[in-house]
Amino acid sequence: MRQLDPDVEPVPGEELSFRVASSTAGRDPYLVDMKCNGGLGQCDCTDWKVRRRPNVEHGNDDPCKHIQRVRRYISDVVILRSLEAEPRDDTGP
């Protein structure tokens, strides 16, 4: 059964904004806003601000690992909601 990433958390009241846990112990989570840059998103991590932002501002999709995790999370939410809405018989043909 598909499960949601426990380290990605929607920000209450902020549509398409998420907090993503840092892989470095003791660091605050990163804020990812998927409404920015035409849906390509933005992150407040150093990698995104220094390396990836210039590419994204020129229309290229160059996500940091936090944006990638949010994209997977959103995809999983859509899949799980679809499965809940329309249960299917998994026994095959």
pLDDT in tens, 25-40: 889 999 999 999 999 9
Contacts of 39 (CB under 8 A, 6+ apart): none
Rg (CA), the chain: 16
Confidence of residue 86 (pLDDT cuts 50, 70, 90): confident
- In angstroms, rounded to a whole number, what is the distance separating the alpha carbons of residues 88 and 18? 30
**At residue 67, does pLDDT exceed 90?**
yes
Q: What does the block give as tokens for 91?
A: 């026994």
- In angstroms, rounded to a whole number, what is the distance separating the alpha carbons of residues 69 and 41? 12
